[in-house]
Amino acid sequence: MTTAIIGLGNIGKQVALNLIAGGQQVIVADHGPTKAVDFVKGSVGNARALSVAAAIDEADIFIFAVYFDAIKGLLAEYRTQLAGKIVVDPSNPIAPDGSGGFKKLIPQDQSSGQILAALLPPGAKLVKAFGTLAAPSLGKGARRSPEPNVLFCASDDRDAGNAVADLIRASGFAPVPIGGLDQSIRIEVFGDLHEFGRLGRLVTAKEASALV
Ligand SMILES: NC(=O)c1ccc[n+]([C@@H]2O[C@H](COP(=O)([O-])OP(=O)(O)OC[C@H]3O[C@@H](n4cnc5c(N)ncnc54)[C@H](OP(=O)(O)O)[C@@H]3O)[C@@H](O)[C@H]2O)c1
Q: Among 66, 67, 126, 128, which residue has the most ligand 1 atoms within 8 Å of its CB, making it the best to mutate? A: 66
- The pLDDT score that the predictor gives to residue 75 is 98
What does the alpha-carbon distance between residue 2 and residue 192 come to, in Å, rounded to a whole number? 32
**Per-residue pLDDT reduced to its tens digit, 36-76:** 999 999 877 789 999 999 999 999 999 999 999 999 999 99
pLDDT exceeds 90 at position 174: yes
Using the mean position of ligand 1's atoms as its centre, give its distance from the Cα of residue 62 in Å. Answer: 14
User: Between the CA of residue 51 and those of 70, 105, 124, 200, what are the distances in Å?
Assistant: 16, 29, 21, 36
Q: Is 205 in the pocket of ligand 1 (CB under 6 A)?
A: no
- The pLDDT score that the predictor gives to residue 149 is 98
Using the mean position of ligand 1's atoms as its centre, give its distance from the Cα of residue 143 in Å. Answer: 24
Q: Is the pTM of this model over 0.95?
A: yes
DSSP state of 130: S
